[in-house]
């Protein structure tokens, strides 16, 4: 099975712009979670989608949003970019079956740099 | 709220020596606990997980961890370090209830292997 894929891998934007990141989960996985990783704050949970519905949300401002499509692919959007949004954004998918419950498989991440 | 604390942001061991990375958790309910490894410019890879089945958990690459409720610990060990083990390691906790896939991560421990 192919792993979790994220596009693009690297992105450079300027303050005030908006950005959309994409995540394709492992085939058959219906849960997709997003995390932000920075040197200062570490790994922080952004949100989780299941069957096109946001099921859990972390403590991030409304500039961070996401969605999930019927094929389980997910996108996250950050509007009005700030310098502090520079980070590695990681996507993880989960199959939610009895044997792999809560086992999340991570993609390689998208490195966002805001100038 | 659940949390994990990783003691030691940097650990150095000689090749062939024992690896011990410490993780303590805080949870009011039986947690699911995980260890992930991250190599430079890559996403997170699951090393092992504790889901209340057995207290001694064996993972990939020769790593294992023991869940000790009395000490609220889930330390990661490997009997003999290899150069390829150099990476950053994250301990994580999850509520373990269906519908809540959020992982809460520790701050990470960077492992350096001395030749």
Segment B43-75, tens digit of pLDDT: 999 999 998 778 899 999 999 999 998 999 999
Tell me what the pLDDT averaged over chain A comes to. Answer: 93
End-to-end Cα, chain B, rounded Å: 41
Contact A33 B102 (CB under 8 A): yes
Range ranked top by mean pLDDT from A94-98, B10-14, B48-52, B93-97: B10-14
| Predicted local confidence at residue A26, as pLDDT | 94
Q: What are phi and psi of A5, to 5 degrees?
A: -115, 145
Q: Is B101 in Cβ contact with A31 (below 8 Å)?
A: yes
HEC string for A36-84: EEECCCEEEEEEEEECCEEEEECCCCCCEEEEECCCCCEEEEECCCCHH
Band (pLDDT 50/70/90 cuts) for residue B15 is: very high
The pLDDT value recorded for residue A95 is 81
pLDDT at B86: 97
Nearest CA in chain B to A104: B46
Query: Quick check: B96 pLDDT over 80?
Result: no
> Would you give per-residue pLDDT tens digits along chain A (115 residues)?
789 999 999 999 999 999 999 999 999 899 999 999 999 899 999 999 999 999 989 999 999 999 999 999 999 999 999 999 999 999 999 886 656 566 889 999 999 999 9
Interface test with B, best of A37, A46, A102, A113 (most B CBs within 10 A): A102
Of residues B40 and A107, more confidence is placed in A107
Tell me if A101 sits within 8 A of A83, measured CB to CB: no
Q: CA–CA separation, A85 vs B11, rounded Å? A: 29
Mean pLDDT, range B79-106, rounded to an integer:
88
Structure tokens at A45: 């949970």
Query: What is the reported pLDDT for A97?
Result: 65
- Chain pair A-B, CB pairs under 8 angstroms: 61
B103: left (phi over 0), alpha (psi -120 to 50) or beta: beta
pLDDT at residue number A102: 64
């Amino acid at each position: 099975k192919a792993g979790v894929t994220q596009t693009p891998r690297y992105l450079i934007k300027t303050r005030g712009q908006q950005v959309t990141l994409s995540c394709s989960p492992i085939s058959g996985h219906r849960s997709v979670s997003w995390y932000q990783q920075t040197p200062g704050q570490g790994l922080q949970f952004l949100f989780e989608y299941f069957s096109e519905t946001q099921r859990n949300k972390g403590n991030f401002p409304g500039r961070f949003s996401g969605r999930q499509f019927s094929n389980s692919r997910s996108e996250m959007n950050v509007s009005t970019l700030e310098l502090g949004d520079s980070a590695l954004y990681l996507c993880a998918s989960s199959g939610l079956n009895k044997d792999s419950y809560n086992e999340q498989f991570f993609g390689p991440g998208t490195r966002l740099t805001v100038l | 709220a659940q949390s994990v604390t990783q003691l030691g942001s940097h650990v150095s061991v000689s090749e062939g020596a024992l690896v011990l990375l410490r993780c303590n958790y805080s949870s009011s309910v039986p947690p699911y606990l995980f260890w992930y490894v991250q190599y430079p410019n890559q996403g997170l890879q699951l090393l092992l997980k504790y889901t209340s089945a057995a207290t001694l958990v064996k993972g990939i690459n020769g790593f294992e961890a023991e869940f000790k409720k009395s000490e609220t610990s889930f330390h990661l060990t490997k009997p003999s370090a290899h150069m390829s083990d150099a990476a950053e390691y994250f301990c994580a906790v999850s509520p373990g209830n269906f519908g809540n896939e959020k992982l809460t991560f520790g701050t990470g421990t960077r492992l350096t292997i001395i030749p």
